[in-house]
């Protein structure tokens, strides 16, 4: 005799299976909320400000936020494992200062570029090793990395250093014309680099074993270890990626401004974390998408763009609004995760 319990109202085991299968996927709720917010903000801007709907506004969002986007991509990997990286802003300052100093000293750009990128990756790997092998909290380990990188930058030079290298200035002055709109839109190479970083990160997280390991460790590191996953190696790798992305952000910063300064990137780590959270990346790890991080960066940039178009609003409103959004998305994450449990 079939003793399978029947759901109230009838239907039997097959209907029960269907009801389990078609439960809404709550992990997509935050990113959909961010996308909806972005659409509402853009629609409001287009309705209230002249030329706001010009394609150049969207393209300029990527150009103006290229450094933040690259850094936030690296931060996404770290947060997905349940960690945090407070050193990225200081790594940017170290990268720009070292880059400008070496170029001013006559070093060839083809040597300077890989050297500073390698330095950023090594700083990230060192922090990841300390976190894994010595069981130090990510907050403390990366805070130490912040002081180390910022201190090295200030030790090298405390003043702004102009970059007059011909290759660097040529890249800074170069423009790419995109076939968007009737007349096309011109942008800088740094925007293209930022978009490529997003595409590569999305592919890694979605289609590689390393990406699956990142999500598994963020979901439950102990379970991942019992399953035989390389927890330690993956944790060190994500901090290495974050350090590399921070150094790449520093290179883009130096290209855009053709200068290096020890205080560049100050506070950018907080902007990157905020962009990830607004984009739906769960702070406790295991859930989120790099596409959400992209949307979070665009929301942050669109707030500043609206303020600039208005002309009468204080720039401090950008920070206030981002703070309010951050609170709202953290609360939404808590609600969604509780319902999922």
C-alpha closest to that of 238 among 124, 120, 136:
124
- CATH number at 328 reads 1.10.3470
Instruction: Work out the number of other CB atoms within 10 angstroms of the CB of residue 93.
Output: 27
* pLDDT of 138 above 60: yes
Alpha carbon distance 98, 85 (integer Å): 21
Q: Which two tokens stand for residue 272?
A: 């990157």
> What's the domain range around 275?
27-45+52-334
Average pLDDT in the 37-49 region? Answer: 94
| Three-class DSSP category at 75 | helix
pLDDT of residue 18: 43
Would 341 be classed as within a structural domain?
A: no
Q: What is the pTM of this model?
A: 0.91
Instruction: Give whole-number Cα distances, 190 to 124, 194, 232, 262, 269, in Å.
Output: 22, 6, 33, 21, 19
> 163 with 169: CB under 8 angstroms?
yes
Question: Could you report the per-residue pLDDT of 281-330, keeping only the tens digit for each?
Answer: 999 898 899 999 999 999 999 999 999 998 888 888 889 999 999 999 98
Structural domain includes residue 195? yes
d(CA 121, CA 126): 9
SS3 149: helix
Residues in CB range of 12: below 8 A, 6 or more apart: 4, 6
In a domain, 4, yes or no: no
Report yes or no on 41 lying in a domain: yes
Between CA 35 and CA 7 the distance in angstroms is 37
Q: Can you give the pLDDT at residue 228?
A: 92
Supply the pLDDT for residue 5: 46
> Are the C-beta atoms of 272 and 282 separated by less than 8 Å?
no
User: Which region among 6-10, 212-216, 221-225 has the lowest average model confidence (pLDDT)?
Assistant: 6-10
**DSSP states of 32-64 as a string?**
HHHHHHHHHHHHHHHHHSTTTTSHHHHHHHHHH
- Alpha-carbon distance 183 to 61, whole Å? 18
SS3 178: strand
The two counts, helices (H) then strands (E), for the chain are 15, 4
User: Average pLDDT in the 43-56 region?
Assistant: 92
Task: Calculate mean pLDDT across residues 204-223.
Answer: 94
| Helix (H/G/I), strand (E/B), else coil: 276 | helix
Tally the domains of the chain: 1
Residue 293 belongs to some domain of the structure:
yes
Tens-place pLDDT, residues 65-79: 999 999 999 999 999
63 domain residue, yes or no: yes
The answer to whether position 21 is within a domain reads: no
283 three-class SS: coil
Q: Three-state DSSP class for 6? A: coil
Q: Could you give the CA distance from residue 83 to residue 130 in angstroms, rounded to a whole number?
A: 13
Give me the residues paired with residue 178 across strands: 185
Q: Is 11 part of a structural domain of the chain?
A: no
């Amino acid at each position: 005799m079939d003793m399978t319990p029947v759901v109230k109202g009838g239907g039997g085991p097959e209907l029960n299976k269907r009801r389990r299968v078609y439960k809404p996927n709550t992990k997509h709720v935050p990113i959909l909320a961010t996308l909806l917010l972005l659409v509402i903000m853009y629609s409001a801007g287009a309705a209230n400000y002249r030329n706001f709907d010009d394609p150049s506004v969207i393209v300029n969002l990527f150009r103006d936020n290229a450094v933040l986007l690259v850094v936030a991509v690296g931060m996404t990997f770290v947060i997905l494992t349940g960690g945090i990286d407070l050193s990225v802003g200081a790594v940017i300052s170290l990268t720009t200062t070292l880059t400008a100093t070496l170029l001013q000293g006559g070093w060839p750009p083809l040597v300077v570029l890989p050297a500073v990128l390698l330095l950023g990756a090594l700083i990230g790997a060192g922090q990841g090793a300390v976190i894994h092998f010595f069981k130090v909290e990510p907050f403390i380990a990366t805070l130490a990395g912040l002081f180390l990188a910022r201190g090295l930058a200030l030790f090298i030079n405390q003043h702004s250093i102009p970059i007059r290298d011909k290759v660097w200035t040529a890249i800074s002055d170069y423009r790419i014309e995109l076939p968007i709109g009737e007349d096309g839109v011109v942008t800088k190479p740094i925007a293209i680099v930022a978009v490529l970083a997003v595409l590569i990160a999305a592919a890694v997280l979605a289609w590689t074993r390393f990406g699956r390991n990142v999500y598994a460790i963020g979901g439950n590191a102990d379970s991942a270890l019992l399953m035989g996953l390389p927890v330690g190696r993956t944790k060190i790798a994500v901090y290495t990626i974050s350090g590399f992305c921070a150094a790449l952000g520093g290179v883009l910063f130096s290209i855009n401004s053709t200068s290096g300064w020890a205080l560049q990137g100050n506070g950018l780590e907080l902007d990157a974390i905020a962009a990830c959270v607004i984009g739906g990346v769960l702070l406790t790890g295991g859930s989120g998408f790099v596409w959400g991080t992209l949307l979070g960066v665009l929301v942050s940039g669109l707030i500043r763009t609206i303020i600039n178009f208005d002309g009468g609003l204080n720039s401090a409103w950008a920070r206030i609004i981002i703070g309010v959004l951050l609170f709202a998305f953290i609360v939404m994450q808590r609600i969604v995760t509780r319902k999922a449990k």
